[in-house]
Structure 1
Amino acid sequence: MPINKQLRGLEMEHACLRDPRHGFEPDGRYGFIRYLEHGVPSALVRWHYHAEYELHLICASSGKVFVGDYIGQFGPGHLVLTGPRVPHNWVSLDTPPDGIKLRDMVIQFNHAPLEQMAAAIPEMKAVMPLLARARYGIEFFNFSDAARERFARIRDSAGLPRFIEFLSLMGELAASGDYQLLSTVPMQASDDDAALARINDAVDFIVQNLSSQFSMQDLAHHLGMSERMFTRFFRSATGNSFTDFVNRLRINRACQLLMETERYVTNICYDAGFNNVANFNRRFLAFKGMTPKQFRQQASGRFGA
């Protein structure tokens, strides 16, 4: 049964709520990079979002992880980077009666300083595609031991030494190809401003018309391109075919409606832009590995016990 939104819901994590008693570093102890660690149970284990990026390492326990519309499993060594305002939560399902002292090691940081650095320092540009992907959540593999050492050094340092450790960690993650994206499909980084503007225009068109029926020909005409040229351009820019990309966005929209409303699945099918319930169920199962009903049931766990 859907969660009663009057009791619990998606929470914004404001700076004023980051109490050192919960594991946050106190004001004055940190600069650009803020470190946090906590166990379970904890008031911080909840379905929430914030303005900062968050690099999150699980040290102990296992359970369900929720990032955007993604639902998956986590265990010790689970390492995820989430972007600004991406909802997330880790819910342990094996917590012993006396709790766990250290479950999470977390690093939070803002976007603007890194963007400014990238504009002035060529070497920093390598990190920007990583940050673009983080808008949809990234899980890294085969990096947990090295990450824990880096997290500990960042925790135990301050000032310039901390910043150097942070940059080294971000550089290693940016260079890693052993990862998976957890929510919707991101745009690939592009140094071509005209191409980037055009693909942004294409995505805006898709998003604005997601609940209606439109064709690739409609979008190609909107961009002033032939269908053949558009096909090559769109796959190069997004890494996906037009059909797959639209279906992914529609499934993502359906996931949001399943998580945040009590509308019937049949209604959500049409709200998300599908014109056939059987096709919707088939696509949903292919992308999410479960039925819409199962997704809604599991998604209720994002609020924790």
Structure 2
Amino acid sequence: MSTLPRQLKPELEHEYVRSTELGYEPANETGIIRCLSHGYPTPLARWHHHDEYELHLITATSGKVFVGDWIGQFQPGQLVLTGPRLPHNWVSMDVPEGGVEERDLVIQFPRAPIELASQQIPELRDIMPLLERSRHGIEFFDMFPQASAHWHNVKNAHGLARFGAFCAFLSDLVQCTDYRMLSNAPLQSVDNDAQLEQINVIVNSITENLSESQSAADIARGLGMSESGFSRFFRRATGNTFTDFVNHVRVNRACQLLMETDLGIANIGFEVGFNNIANFNRRFLSIKGMTPSEFRRQAASRFGQKS
């Protein structure tokens, strides 16, 4: 019988663990863009998060990938962009005896310098929507050859040439239309900053009051909108009806509790706002493709242990 590991939350990766012996570039030889390559198994493959964005290309083995509350399969060629503090891990299931020398090609970079530069350099503003979406994790499809070439171009360049090669990589990602969001309930699009602020207020209200019943009519009145106008606005910004979005947020919060606590499944269902366990199980299965108990069982393997 399997048991959840004692450590339930992701490990925060600190600078002092980024040793050149593990594949990191020396900190004094890089700027804001850091390349990393490593094999498997390795101490670097663990359930963790960090303050940087991370572009992660798999070149060997297949197995199970965990990004936030998303669980899926990976194989060579998978390319994922994760945002700051978004937990992740790739667990290989078909490692040959002795392991593999190269499984991961990684680029890490911070937000602040790019965001600051984008305020003065209009060309860099194209990157910002991509970085916003990466808060949920983005998987890009059919980009293995060019992603590998981009990584090596960045790795082999220095100074301004490295930044140029990095921008070329991000430019291809900005233009890629074959991708999917992985974790949480992402927003899709808004027309301006005022609408973005409205949506953020609504989402924060939903998130902070999950156990309370909130209707579209109540929120529409609070915004001075008609219910039908609010429904159109909300669906355009989130891709979901208000009810479906609330269910997504509740299920995503339930995923976090299933992964990071030992609370009973029924208690978790009530805590996130479902009025009975049958409804919780039904909604969870519809959104995640598995039951809460199966999710918890699979999530246990995010540490690289068999569930």
Classify the TM-score, shorter chain.
Answer: over 0.9
Corresponding residue number in structure 2 for 1:163? 163
Query: Is 2:132 aligned against 1:132?
Result: yes
Q: Contact (CA 8 Å) 1:2, 1:296: kept in 2 or not?
A: no
In 2, Cα distance between the equivalents of 1:113 and 1:284? Answer: 39
One-letter identity of the residue aligned with 2:196: L
CA deviation profile, 1:236-273 (whole Å, cap 9, x unmatched):
22222111211111110110111111111111111111
In 2, Cα distance between the equivalents of 1:291 and 1:232? Answer: 31
Corresponding residue number in structure 2 for 1:82? 82
Name the SS of the counterpart of 1:234 in structure 2: helix
Could you list the structure 1 runs, at least 4 aligned residues long, displaced by more than 6 angstroms after superposition.
Answer: none
One-letter identity of the residue aligned with 2:300: S
Corresponding residue number in structure 1 for 2:297? 297
- State the shift of 1:122 in Å: 1.9
- State the shift of 1:4 in Å: 3.0
User: Does 116-125 or 60-69 show the bigger shift?
Assistant: 116-125
Q: Contact (CA 8 Å) 1:56, 1:105: kept in 2 or not?
A: yes
One-letter identity of the residue aligned with 2:265: V
1:86-165 to 2 correspondence within 5 Å? 86-165=86-165
In 2, Cα distance between the equivalents of 1:173 and 1:117? Answer: 19
Corresponding residue number in structure 2 for 1:286? 286
CA deviation profile, 1:88-111 (whole Å, cap 9, x unmatched):
000001111111000000000011
Name the SS of the counterpart of 1:120 in structure 2: coil
CA deviation profile, 1:168-199 (whole Å, cap 9, x unmatched):
11111011110011011222354622111111
Q: Contact (CA 8 Å) 1:39, 1:99: kept in 2 or not?
A: yes
User: Does 212-221 or 171-180 show the bigger shift?
Assistant: 212-221
One-letter identity of the residue aligned with 2:253: R
Corresponding residue number in structure 2 for 1:188? 188
One-letter identity of the residue aligned with 1:160: L
One-letter identity of the residue aligned with 1:100: V
CA deviation profile, 1:101-128 (whole Å, cap 9, x unmatched):
0000000001111111221122222111
1:1-305 to 2 correspondence within 5 Å? 1-6=2-7, 9-190=9-190, 192-305=192-305
- State the shift of 1:235 in Å: 1.3
Q: Contact (CA 8 Å) 1:235, 1:242: kept in 2 or not?
A: yes
Q: Contact (CA 8 Å) 1:34, 1:107: kept in 2 or not?
A: yes
One-letter identity of the residue aligned with 1:234: F
Report percent identity of matched pairs: 54
Distance 1:9 1:254, change over 3 A: closer
In 2, Cα distance between the equivalents of 1:187 and 1:287? Answer: 16
In 2, Cα distance between the equivalents of 1:115 and 1:224? Answer: 33
Name the SS of the counterpart of 2:130 in structure 1: helix
Aligned length: 304
In 1, Cα distance between the equivalents of 2:122 and 2:188? Answer: 19
In 2, Cα distance between the equivalents of 1:125 and 1:53? Answer: 17
Distance 1:188 1:114, change over 3 A: farther
In 2, Cα distance between the equivalents of 1:98 and 1:222? Answer: 61
One-letter identity of the residue aligned with 1:99: G
Distance 1:191 1:158, change over 3 A: farther
Unaligned runs of 5+ in 2: none
Name the SS of the counterpart of 1:28 in structure 2: helix
- State the shift of 1:2 in Å: 4.0
One-letter identity of the residue aligned with 1:30: T
Name the SS of the counterpart of 1:57 in structure 2: strand
- State the shift of 1:84 in Å: 0.3
Q: Contact (CA 8 Å) 2:189, 2:238: kept in 1 or not?
A: no
